[in-house]
């Protein structure tokens, strides 16, 4: 019969593998994210993944003081997300970069304004 300790060991190893995959995909989103809000959301997700790693390590090692560290990281991550959101709102530029056709239309409008004035 399988012991509860063996089940916890297998489950925590599987969780670490899944969290590692999520970490890689999220780092890719931070690097390749087309807009600033995408990158901010990915950084918030990285905080959540780090909290997951800390919790799994706490269960795996039996050293539950790590849970306090995870809670503290969650609070700091929340404050960082709020600060980034306020930064994005103050910039007022949360849209993705314009396409090539929109850029050409903007150039035509600028030329038309120059000839009028």
Backbone angles phi, psi at 27, to 5 degrees: -65, -35
> pLDDT digits over 1-59, tens only?
899 999 999 999 999 999 999 999 999 999 998 988 899 999 999 999 999 999 999 99
CB 53 within 8 A of CB 22: no
User: Which has more confidence, 69 or 99?
Assistant: 69
CB 65 within 8 A of CB 8: no
Round to whole Å and give the CA distance between 85 and 104. Answer: 31
> pLDDT digits over 53-71, tens only?
999 999 999 998 999 999 9
Task: For residue 51, give both structure tokens.
Answer: 């909290």
Q: C-alpha dihedral over 35, 39, 42, 44, to 10 degrees?
A: -120
């050293």: which residue's tokens? 63
Per-residue DSSP letter, 33: -
């Amino acid at each position: 019969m399988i012991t509860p300790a063996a089940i916890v060991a297998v489950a925590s190893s599987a969780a670490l593998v899944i969290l590692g995959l999520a970490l890689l995909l999220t780092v890719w989103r931070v690097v390749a994210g087309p807009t600033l809000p995408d990158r901010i959301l990915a950084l918030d997700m990285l905080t959540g993944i780090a909290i997951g790693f800390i919790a799994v390590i706490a269960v795996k090692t039996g050293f539950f003081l790590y849970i306090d560290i995870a809670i503290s990281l969650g609070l700091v991550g929340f404050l960082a997300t709020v600060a980034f959101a306020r930064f994005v709102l103050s910039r007022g530029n949360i849209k993705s970069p314009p396409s090539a056709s929109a850029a050409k239309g903007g150039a035509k409008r600028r030329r038309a304004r120059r000839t009028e004035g």
